[in-house]
Structure 1
Amino acid sequence: MRGFLASSIGVTCAAALALPLTAPAAATTTTTTGAATAAARTAGAAAAGPAGAAASRSLAGSTRSLAGSTQSLALEPVAPASRDRVLGAVPEEGLYRGKVHRFSMVGVAWADPRRALDGRVQVRTRSVGTGAWTGWQDIETHNADHGADPGTAEAASGRRRGGTAPLWTGDSDGVQVRVRPGGSGRPAAPLPAGLRLELVDPGGEDAPPDDSATQEDAEEDTRIGVVDAEATAAEADADLAPLGAKAIPALDRTETERELYDLRGDELTEQQRAKPYIGPRPRIVTRRGWGADEGLREKGFVYTHQVKAAFVHHTVTGNKYTCAQAPSVIRGIYRYHVVSMGWRDIGYNFLVDKCGTIYEGRAGGVAEPVLGAHTLGFNTDSMGIAVIGTFTKSKPSTAAVEAVAKLTAWKLGLYGGNPSGKTYLKSGGGNLYRKGKNVRLNVISGHRDGFATECPGRLLYGKLGTARSTAAHYQGRR
């Protein structure tokens, strides 16, 4: 695959605009839909690791699936004459497709998860509604700071791939992409092998989830195979809401303290029993509420020991979404993490939209210490909360910061955590702290506190002090 990069120069969108290209005959397109994806990934990984997993994706036809779909398009080279005229000697890769199956999220993935993409990735997309092309949009390339800790089963699964962060585009049916190595003042480094454009259709129709569950809901779950005797996301939250509920309702303080005794009574000290510091449980939209296709993720759940800290993230998917579209954005991230990146489930434990709605992330129970894949090196004994959006230059909404405070006041309170305090976590290995080092961190930290990254964006990071003090207030500490 490196020979391909050494001998040929990839297509850029500039070339695509200058020449009315169609997809090259050598280009490969694979589409995955629904529960069949999990079986295909497993079979492919067993055959040939990450490359086999990618090759095993089955073509599911041209119709748009309610369960969602992923189109994986190989980036292709262009003739040297076109390259020299448009690009000079810069070794770019790219793709132009004037017509593809509809999608709403885009990213770029590659074969080796250990390789970084040192360069710039830009896309243009065409709106289904207007037929107009957007301007060039940057995709965040530094995404390796998320993921499973080194040495875990998820990290060693053989299915993982490298990838950029996903970008929300809205309903689109045309795409152009260009990938250029290196940066300002830096020499061009080789691009990772096996670059592919991932176009994600989150599927489904969004509607405001209610808190109710009916017998009909449960029967439908059984029919479509969501209820599984081995492991189900719904059963993991059975102590908090009826099976099939689309949202776990909020509780007042008295009800929350009663629930704390029921869930953690045997683990509480006498002091905690006498004066529990816990915020009222907020309303949380379940995986069913945002439309998770449970056939995508791996079966079963993986837990850590407790929840000592919360890491706050931004999804870097952009801010051009409405609150009604938030479930679609989450379904897109979920599908990208599992199908395109090879993770066992969505990486975050919770997500928060710009209207302050809280969503269940990785399956296993919102009250449980579910092991996530959000802060490389510090997933053990922590939880990851992702605010949907990009906050390097845009401010997070007041509602989103308030939701982070409410969520942490409750979830950390289940495990005796003080939101305005400090705690120690042992590093699993990363670019800031060596493996095995005990690191003193804020109980509510930003992603950048555990890994050298811009996440959660400068302007969201600056709001964490407010989240800490507000969460402590909700717990009754001040």
Structure 2
Amino acid sequence: MRAFIASSIGVTCAAALVLPLAAPAGAAPDTPAHSAAMGGPAPAEASEPAPLSGSTQSLALTSLPAASARATGQPIAVAAGQGLTERDVRAFSMVGVVWDDVSAELHGTAQVRTRATGTHRWSGWQDLETHNAEHSADPGTAERDSGAARGSTAPLWVGDSDGVEVRVNPEAPDARGGSAPSVPLPGGLRLELVDPGKDPRQVPATGAAGADRTAGITALPALSRLATDAAAGYVPGAAPLIGPRPRIITRQGWGADEKLRERAFTYTKSVKAAFIHHSATGNNYACSQAPAVLRGIYRYHVRSSGWRDIGYNFAVDKCGNIYEGRAGGVTKAVMGAHTLGFNTNTMGIAVLGTFSDANPPAAAVNAVAKLTAWKLGLYGANPKGRVTLVSGGSNKYKEGKKVELNVISGHRDGFATECPGARLYKKLGTARTSSARLQGR
């Protein structure tokens, strides 16, 4: 495999996108010890190879008292919940819950409350989106079947924190079902506390090693239509309908630690469709914090969920900034782990935030349109068109089923899920129209 990222910025800049070779994710020493006792101390953290890497604390959940009666006082069989009581921990900014079996579903609720660093201020209880395996590598792929992949909730961005409490409860039994017990929680539940590490641009350079951290390209500049065609290797006027390339912040630009991910890249044949997601990490971030949010998601996907790299091919923040996601080349058909059953010949774009009840900013929707006009155009796809994809197996379409979908689809179109949130999903029609117009259709 090539150990560099190709791009469409032209021959003169291609060499600047070379990435250093990195050890496989499973080889890096970053698996913290677990705390099995409710009152036990925070686990010792494995040493980090570089100060920019961030860190992950992993704490095993323990049983909480089971409810034994309905509000009416009638006895009912309820599976015990799990969690952790209030405790002091090392600093973190992102939190999620994982479990051992990547195919197991969490039928219930996961909630956390956190304390702002250096204060006595605790947040209210906040929900974690349970995910239930909908964001993952496809069945039968090496990434999913490696034995490292785990089930997980979406990670939640909570900002600088040093205290945490968590509770995970199974779904209540069906009110119509009488005494039917609830579904037990999956095994091996653990709380993952992620410190995304420092922004490389804010770390003073000290000698040659420090200077190396700020070398290279941190963003691919926006290109005009003519420059985009030329960069893609087409003679102006003879190119297919490709939208102008938007500005894209590279992995180096948001501070991705290339030692975390696997070295090799995995490609498919084409990019026939784009699946739009929300990251479900919450909306309480400033756009200046978006790189840290991405570093947190990246670390959570690799270290906590056991994926080879961040799952999304691209990300967009609420100010409309576009970020390179999974490594392998922004122009390439890189296989992601974003839409279970439909990762082949597609790309995944995550809008950073939660848009179930909140409207996505217009800047973010416009950025989705710009990105899809360019990337889908490279592969001849019409953003307003339809495409037939073959399901790799999901809770909505069985393996091998041919499914006709919009070229720009929401995650819920391929998998029964809330993602990308009802409010963002309603904006996809606008994104399709704008994207097609940018292509000249």
TM-score where L is the length of structure 2: 0.83
Aligned partner of 1:360 in structure 2 is: 324
Map 1:293-304 → 2, pairs under 5 A: 293-304=257-268
Aligned partner of 2:198 in structure 1 is: 204
Helix, strand or coil for the counterpart of 2:89?
coil
Equivalent of 2:376 in 390, 412, 431: 412
Deviation at 1:76, TM superposition (A): 2.0
Letter of the 2:142 counterpart: A
**Greater CA drift, 129-138 or 119-128:** 129-138
Output the aligned Cα RMSD: 3.1
Whole-Å separation in 1 of the counterparts to 2:417 and 2:82: 25
Letter of the 1:397 counterpart: P
Instruction: Check whether the contact 1:41–1:159 (CA below 8 A) recurs between aligned residues.
Output: no
Helix, strand or coil for the counterpart of 1:99?
strand
The structure where helix makes up a greater share of residues is 1
Question: Are 1:152 and 2:124 an aligned pair?
Answer: no
Map 1:341-380 → 2, pairs under 5 A: 341-380=305-344
Helix, strand or coil for the counterpart of 1:347?
coil
Question: Are 1:59 and 2:45 an aligned pair?
Answer: yes
Letter of the 1:448 counterpart: R
Aligned partner of 2:19 in structure 1 is: none
Question: Are 1:182 and 2:182 an aligned pair?
Answer: no
Letter of the 2:190 counterpart: R
Map 1:58-137 → 2, pairs under 5 A: 59-60=45-46, 65-77=51-63, 91-128=80-117, 130-137=119-126
**What are structure 2's unaligned runs of at least 5 residues?**
1-21, 33-42, 176-180
Change in Cα spacing, 1:206 to 1:104, as seen in structure 2 (3 Å) is farther
Deviation at 1:84, TM superposition (A): 7.8
Helix, strand or coil for the counterpart of 2:94?
strand
Equivalent of 1:254 in 220, 226, 231: 226
Change in Cα spacing, 1:273 to 1:474, as seen in structure 2 (3 Å) is same
Q: List per-residue Cα deviations over 1:7-46 (Å, max 9, x = no partner).
A: xxxxxxxxxxxxxxxxxxxxxxxxxxx97964157999xx
Whole-Å separation in 1 of the counterparts to 2:393 and 2:142: 15
Letter of the 1:201 counterpart: D
Whole-Å separation in 1 of the counterparts to 2:269 and 2:315: 21
Letter of the 1:160 counterpart: A
Deviation at 1:77, TM superposition (A): 3.4
Helix, strand or coil for the counterpart of 1:197?
strand
**Greater CA drift, 272-281 or 111-120:** 272-281
Deviation at 1:422, TM superposition (A): 0.9
**Greater CA drift, 449-458 or 400-409:** 449-458
Whole-Å separation in 1 of the counterparts to 2:251 and 2:308: 15
Instruction: Check whether the contact 1:351–1:386 (CA below 8 A) recurs between aligned residues.
Output: yes
Q: List per-residue Cα deviations over 1:43-100 (Å, max 9, x = no partner).
A: 99xxxxxxxxxxxx9833699943100000011236x7x9889x99651111024210
Q: List per-residue Cα deviations over 1:270-302 (Å, max 9, x = no partner).
A: xx9635211110000000000001111011111
Map 1:261-300 → 2, pairs under 5 A: 261=233, 274=238, 276-300=240-264
Aligned partner of 1:141 in structure 2 is: 130
Whole-Å separation in 1 of the counterparts to 2:275 and 2:174: 33
Question: Are 1:436 and 2:400 an aligned pair?
Answer: yes
Aligned partner of 1:169 in structure 2 is: 158
Instruction: Check whether the contact 2:108–2:171 (CA below 8 A) recurs between aligned residues.
Output: yes
TM-score where L is the length of structure 1: 0.77
Aligned partner of 2:294 in structure 1 is: 330
**Greater CA drift, 57-66 or 184-193:** 57-66
Whole-Å separation in 2 of the counterparts to 1:155 and 1:350: 20
Letter of the 1:390 counterpart: T
Helix, strand or coil for the counterpart of 1:109?
strand
**Greater CA drift, 109-118 or 243-252:** 243-252
Whole-Å separation in 1 of the counterparts to 2:269 and 2:412: 23
Whole-Å separation in 1 of the counterparts to 2:251 and 2:399: 33
Letter of the 1:170 counterpart: G
Instruction: Check whether the contact 1:286–1:360 (CA below 8 A) recurs between aligned residues.
Output: yes
Deviation at 1:257, TM superposition (A): 1.2
Letter of the 2:395 counterpart: N
Whole-Å separation in 2 of the counterparts to 1:391 and 1:348: 17
Aligned partner of 2:348 in structure 1 is: 384
Letter of the 2:195 counterpart: D
Q: List per-residue Cα deviations over 1:358-412 (Å, max 9, x = no partner).
A: 0000000101000000011111000000000011100000000000000000000
Change in Cα spacing, 1:427 to 1:37, as seen in structure 2 (3 Å) is closer
Q: List per-residue Cα deviations over 1:319-355 (Å, max 9, x = no partner).
A: 0011011001100000000000000000000000000
Instruction: Check whether the contact 2:229–2:239 (CA below 8 A) recurs between aligned residues.
Output: no
Instruction: Check whether the contact 1:206–1:324 (CA below 8 A) recurs between aligned residues.
Output: no
Letter of the 2:191 counterpart: L
Helix, strand or coil for the counterpart of 2:88?
coil
Change in Cα spacing, 1:77 to 1:62, as seen in structure 2 (3 Å) is farther
Deviation at 1:424, TM superposition (A): 1.2
Deviation at 1:193, TM superposition (A): 0.9
Aligned partner of 1:39 in structure 2 is: 27
Whole-Å separation in 2 of the counterparts to 1:295 and 1:133: 34
Whole-Å separation in 2 of the counterparts to 1:125 and 1:64: 27
Deviation at 1:244, TM superposition (A): 1.6
Whole-Å separation in 2 of the counterparts to 1:283 and 1:100: 38
Question: Are 1:192 and 2:186 an aligned pair?
Answer: yes
Deviation at 1:220, TM superposition (A): 4.7
Change in Cα spacing, 1:377 to 1:36, as seen in structure 2 (3 Å) is closer
Whole-Å separation in 2 of the counterparts to 1:35 and 1:166: 25
Letter of the 1:189 counterpart: V
Whole-Å separation in 1 of the counterparts to 2:306 and 2:197: 19
